[in-house]
Chain A
Amino acid sequence: MTATLKTRQGGPATSRPAVRRSRADKPFRHLTAAAGVVLLAIMAAIAVFLIAEAIPALYANEGSFLTELIWTPNNSPPAFGIGALAFGTLMSSFLALIMAVPVAVGVALFITHYAPRKLAGALGYIVDLLAAVPSVVYGLWGVIFLVPFMQGPSEFLNEYLGFIPLFSADQVVGRSMLTASIVLAIMILPIIAAISREVFLQVPRMNEEAALALGATRWEMIRMAVLPFGRPGVVSASMLGLGRAMGETIAVALIFPATFDITFGVLGPSGNSIAANIALGFAEAGEVGRGALIASGLVLFIITLLVNMAARMIVVGRSGARK
């Protein structure tokens, strides 16, 4: 912000006559406008294509698209419903978010406010690197290591916390909603931590000093000055992570048992998501099957849009109250 102001005041543009400036601005304005229009046109084209492809399949569907808990679009008559898939997508993503955000904020606070400078630099670099690891690597690690590993802890949770619906299950397995959520959480943690770190670094030094001078301990200073200032940024980072988790395909496709039921128990052999279902089903899909998968893709698109809009409203609501 300050940097822009400086260049504006110091830059050569303002010292030139107004006529020349507006002449130079014109092509640039058209260029940016064209870029904006092209983007919107591409978006619209994609939407039109998806809807056109999905409509025939939706007409052919014998079950209810919203409530049917099966996915057999290639049978005749075809029947498929989005309910279980949408539920699995939201459930696994929100579980991942709940696990990832506190850890990511903790990592970011440690790097910005607790770690010695050298360690902080190294840690920040590692977090950035982790954010760039392809998701299939996390997926493979999840299948090969985490699935067998989770058997024990899952049984422990089921035995001692089974009275909570989340942890009740008739059969406890490693390839569960919980394991998939953990893989997602680990996947989205670096991106949330990296953005949160940037946001926490933006907290004005003078606000931190104001808190310290009032006799705040470091943790009190963080609660008083750092977290409130960083909250909108952390929410945005979390939404980016949530978007990534909901759209994640291959990592969860490897782990989910690909069932079509809705259950709140996260330890049993059930779980699926829209993206995973598309990845697994597209190769064998027939005419209707393809349309059904495209329709499910549309639903994912809408869910992502709604979640992002909700997040933006949270952020705007908070900063709006500030002004």
Chain B
Amino acid sequence: MAKQIQVSGLDAYYGSNKAIEDISMTIEPRSVTAFIGPSGCGKSTFLRTLNRMHEVIPGARVEGKVMLDADDLYAPGVDPVSVRRTIGMVFQRPNPFPTMSIYENVAAGLRLNGRISKARADEIVERSLKGANLWNEVKDRLNKPGAGLSGGQQQRLCIARAIAVQPQVLLMDEPCSALDPISTLAIEDLIAELKDEFTIVIVTHNMQQAARVSDRTAFFNLAAQGQPGKLVEMDETTNMFTNPSEKATEDYITGRFG
């Protein structure tokens, strides 16, 4: 189910403003890759180029190559909609659909792929909610609005919604930044379980979190305000945090800037 992502020479723009420059990296399947770096270094922008969500912003565009196993995501004729069905995303703030029940939220993506039977939908909703460690908390109130859950539960609902369509890759854009420590812990445990099935990429501002959950870490930085963000280095997480090869990485991790 999980696939490898290979990025080469990727630039992303907002209008004429270059946000990230010349990024190349390999993201391994069935592992957690963390992106860290100071604000404005383009890690979220880069994450959004991986499922072609970057281009939904007016004027935004991407140059370069992103390969999902053997498929070029930016090849001409590739439909961004089909890319997004393969690569799921969880956002910074929990964003369940406010008009939908818990059940409908999880089933929202299923309906996009055509009609499925009620029994099949029930089964997938249950499996996804179990996969997101939310089933026991909500199984008696599946028809209640998703917006009535706590923030941490809402974020796990969003994860359930994302994994219900069985993507190859799961992108997470600071999924815990709006949550309290206990909810954060629940999500981190969940990430550790999900990596058996999915390729996971997580953007985080919290370096302890990167150290706790990820197998590999990529450090992004920008030369100065207004300059495009670049990938400084990428390595095994243990190496990055104990023995980084770049001075800038060490300075950032030890809290000397950023």
Contact = CB atoms under 8 A, between A and B. Distances in A.
Contacts of B89: 213
Interface residues of B, number: 29
A98 interface: no
Contacts, number: 69
Contacts of A215: 81-82, 84-86, 109, 112, 165
Interface string A200-239: 0000101101111111110010001100110100000000
B112 A214 contact: yes
B81 A216 contact: yes
A207 B145 contact: no
B88 interface: yes
16 contacts: A206-B93, A207-B95, A209-B91, A212-B56, A213-B89, A214-B109, A214-B112, A215-B84, A215-B109, A215-B165, A216-B112, A220-B112, A228-B97, A229-B99, A321-B145, A322-B99
Interface in B81-121: 81-82, 84-86, 88-89, 91, 93, 95-100, 108-109, 112
B51 interface: yes
A225 B112 CA distance: 13
Interface residues of A, number: 22
Contacts of B147: 322
Given A228-B100, A229-B99, A323-B148, A209 B53 contact: yes
Given A206-B95, A213-B84, A213-B162, 10 more contacts: A204-B95, A206-B91, A210-B97, A210-B158, A212-B84, A214-B109, A214-B112, A214-B165, A231-B99, A322-B99
B77 interface: no
A29 interface: no
B88 A213 contact: yes
B94 to A, nearest CB: 9
Contacts of B195: none
B88 A322 contact: no
Q: Pick from A215, A216, A225 the residue with the most CB of B within 10 Å.
A: A215
B230 interface: no
Contacts of A214: 84-85, 88, 108-109, 112, 161-162, 165
Nearest to A218: B81
A321 B89 CA distance: 28
Nearest to B88: A213
8 tightest Cβ-Cβ pairs between the two chains A and B: A215-B85, A228-B99, A213-B89, A214-B109, A206-B95, A215-B84, A210-B95, A217-B81
A302 B148 CA distance: 38
Contacts of B161: 210, 214
B183 to A, nearest CB: 18
B255 interface: no
B58 interface: yes
Nearest to B83: A215
A323 B97 contact: no
A216 B109 CA distance: 8
Nearest to A321: B145
